Chains A and B, each alone.
Chain A
Amino acid sequence: MNADQKGRRQLLLLTLDHLRSSAFICGLIFLLCGCTSAVRSGRSTALDSVDLVRMTDDMVQKIVASPEVQAAIAREGKLAVVVQPVENRMVAEVLPRGPAQAFTARVRVLLSRHAPDRFTWVMNRDAFYELRARETDIDLGPPPERVQPRYALTSIFSSLTKEDAKRRSAYYLCEYQLTDLSGGNLLWSGSYEVKKTAVRKFLD
């Protein structure tokens, strides 16, 4: 093998080595970069579906177990309750209409399922007509005008939120109340507390 042939072979091997390593690097980059979604990787301090489930499960248990609520049912029979969307008092947080309704609607749904003989649910007037306009298959029950609610299930979400160069943290206090509409007396109240922190990362 002369010098030219040796050189040619050497260059070929070198090129192949480079190609192999380049292909590996490119493949690795594509593997790592190509499949992440803009909405999947991030972590925020907002209340999420996990909180929704935990919070509403907890509230339902507390309402059903409340001696005051049980006494009212024993005294009056089924309680006619209207459900209101959550009132947003959170600092620097938005709670759109859908989630605001979901946080109280799930309480209603769970109580309808587990204690159907204790509550009559009167849908919030706006929500009723909105759903009727959509012509959904859900049984909406009687129009709000036909049933006079005696109680209101309301909820207020508050938070203390901080954001700085390193992190954002929020402490939430979510209060639920069952109020007697005739006298304004508080029949029951419960709360859910959670603290969330999201730490900034590279390129945040």
Chain B
Amino acid sequence: MKRRSPYSLSPVPRGEGGWLRVCLIGFALCATLPSTGCTSKAERAAEQAVQAYFAGDPARAVEQLKPLAQKTDQNFVLNNARLGSAALIQYDLDQAEAGFLRAYEVINSFGVNSGGRSLGAILVDEKIRVWRGEPFERAMLNFYLGLVYYMRHDYANARGAFENALFKLRDYADNADRKNADYKEVESNFALAAIMLGKSWQRLGRDDLARAAFARVTQMRPSLAPLADYDRNLRSNLLLVVDFGYGPRKVADFDGAISGFAPEPHQEGMIPLPQVSIDGRYVDVLGINQPPVDLLALAQDRRWQSIDTIRTMKSVAGTGLISGGAYEATRRRGNDGTALALIAAGVLLKATSQADVRQWEMLPRTVFLLPLEVTPGRHDITVDFPHAPGLRQTWRGLEVPAQGEATYYFRMQRWNNGPFDWPPPAVAQAQAAP
């Protein structure tokens, strides 16, 4: 019997080259599984920083993120957003502002991914493109930038950032469908920035615009009327900004080509409401302790992008090619070369059709705004959640002014209860500087 060359392109009769066929079919089956991908050294360092943040060690997170935030690569915006979040917990407002501002500048620019990055994202890997976040992430970045300015009493810049936060969700609504009144719905979901915009106008002495902003919040979300009350905010000399829970996680389907956000709000249940005690006594926060936003809900409105279509088509085509290759390998008069080429092309398409699941992990599920009127002086303040046992945070010696409004940021984490002493090191250092 004549031995067939392994390089032969001629059709292989059934029963010959069995090992090759088994390999091809096995390879084809494996290729349909999602690729695990590989991470760079910088990405691993960023992951460690995120882990440090979740482990209640924001100082380590800041140190690890500082060098990464300087690299103007595809993760530039993401790492600066992460740095801002970690620095904000430490009240390192200079660092937080710098991080958020760098991210803000790229987010506000268009054409960041023009040319090679777009082509690379389509042909090679979507992660090649510069991460600019989903609309809700962009809005939150502007919110935190505004918060930093608000904490510094730089109300003009705070106002600008909060307005821009609303813009980021406005363009989101435009894309959805204006005719369905999505614009109003999405903006009402982001009442968080609208309230802070009203407060900023109030501090800038523009009562007319402040009233208009608060009225808009009340009109869109009547349950937030006590929080958007003009007089309450005018009297407030203490604003507690409380980040609760964790934001949505970006996940890919089994195939890895289609991404979405999880969990859905109903899977996580209702958002528990906070209580506040000052010097051991509970204060009345009924009505104002409503969550102005639920990012889990906001994320579900993720807009479908052109690249999602391209990625999905690539994945489907890849699966088709692999299946075709597998069929060719099993066919009675199949051609090994053709089978191999089909499978290889399919694998290549599948490997380059993986969804980009990068996200700003530090985002909370919601941000509570608690404007309070407190006797000026130093106070021990605790924020706790009776319906989320173990979740509380205490700060000792928080300064409350007679004039104006002091703003304090609480990031609720189970292992971050405190008590913490005011001022934290970053603030003490800033105060000690001449």
Contact = CB atoms under 8 A, between A and B. Distances in A.
B130 interface: yes
B427 interface: no
Contacts of B9: 7, 10-11
B155 to A, nearest CB: 10
B104 A94 contact: yes
Interface string A6-30: 0110110000000000000100010
A38 B108 CA distance: 12
Interface in B394-434: 433-434
Given A198-B110, A202-B113, A165 B174 contact: yes
Interface in B90-117: 97, 101-102, 104-106, 108-117
Given A90-B160, A94-B157, A203 B121 contact: yes
Interface stretch (B163-171, B219-227, B317-325): B163-171
B106 A94 contact: no
B149 A37 contact: no
Interface in A81-98: 87-97
Contact of A36 (B101, B116, B433): B116
Interface stretch (B72-80, B276-284, B362-370): B72-80
B110 to A, nearest CB: 4
Contacts, number: 151
Interface residues of A, number: 51
Interface string B196-221: 00000000000000000000000000
B117 A42 contact: no
A203 B113 contact: yes
Contact of B110 (A11, A36, A37, A200): A200
Contacts of B305: 203
A174 to B, nearest CB: 15
A179 B349 CA distance: 67
B124 interface: yes
Contacts of B149: 94
Name B's interface SS: helix
B306 A202 contact: yes
Contact of B117 (A31, A36, A93, A168): A36
Interface centre among B10, B145, B161, B167 (most CB of A within 10 A): B167
Nearest to B166: A92
B411 to A, nearest CB: 23
B23 interface: no
Given A7-B5, A96-B157, A204-B113, A38 B72 contact: yes
B160 A88 contact: yes
Contacts of B154: 97
B156 A29 contact: no
Given A92-B164, A203-B129, A43 B7 contact: no
A164 interface: yes
Contacts of B164: 92-94
Nearest to A199: B110
A12 to B, nearest CB: 8
Contact of A91 (B116, B117, B160, B170): B160
Contacts of B163: 91-92
A40 interface: yes
Contacts of B105: 39, 44, 46
Nearest to A18: B341
12 contacts: A10-B9, A29-B123, A38-B74, A41-B117, A43-B111, A44-B109, A45-B108, A133-B434, A198-B109, A202-B306, A203-B113, A203-B306
List of 3 A-B pairs having minimum Cβ-Cβ separation, nearest first: A42-B109, A32-B116, A33-B120
Given A38-B112, A43-B109, 5 more contacts: A38-B73, A41-B111, A43-B111, A44-B108, A92-B166
